[in-house]
């Protein structure tokens, strides 16, 4: 339980901004390559040990962690226990 609380506190400190749902596309003028910038973490369900841990991350910023809720029901990584 303490681990979850620490994780929630840590997530709140490093969570991305609400406006980060959109990403900025940047084209390098010399190469013509296009890259996407985002300050949202790229974590997926396998990055978490438990569903509760994934849920805490999702709850800290659902827009950033939308990949954790595949069916859109508000429950992150339902396959984890």
**pLDDT, position 2:** 65
CA dist 76 → 17, 24, 45, 49, 57 (Å): 19, 26, 8, 12, 9
Q: Give CA–CA dist 44/50, Å, rounded.
A: 12
Q: Give CA–CA dist 54/56, Å, rounded.
A: 5
Q: Give CA–CA dist 39/19, Å, rounded.
A: 10
**pLDDT, position 64:** 93
**pLDDT, position 26:** 42
**pLDDT, position 19:** 39
**pLDDT, position 39:** 84
Q: Which tens digit of pLDDT belongs to each residue from 26-81?
A: 444 454 544 444 688 899 999 999 999 999 999 999 999 999 999 999 999 999 98
Higher pLDDT, 8 or 14: 8
pTM, two decimals, is: 0.54
């Amino acid at each position: 339980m303490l681990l979850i609380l620490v994780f929630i506190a840590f997530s709140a400190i490093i969570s991305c901004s609400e406006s980060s749902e959109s990403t900025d596309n940047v084209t390098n003028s010399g190469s013509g390559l296009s890259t996407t910038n985002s300050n949202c973490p790229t974590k997926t369900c396998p990055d978490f040990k438990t569903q509760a841990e994934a849920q805490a991350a999702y709850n800290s910023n659902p827009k950033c962690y939308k990949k954790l809720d595949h069916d859109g029901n508000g429950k992150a990584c339902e396959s984890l226990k």
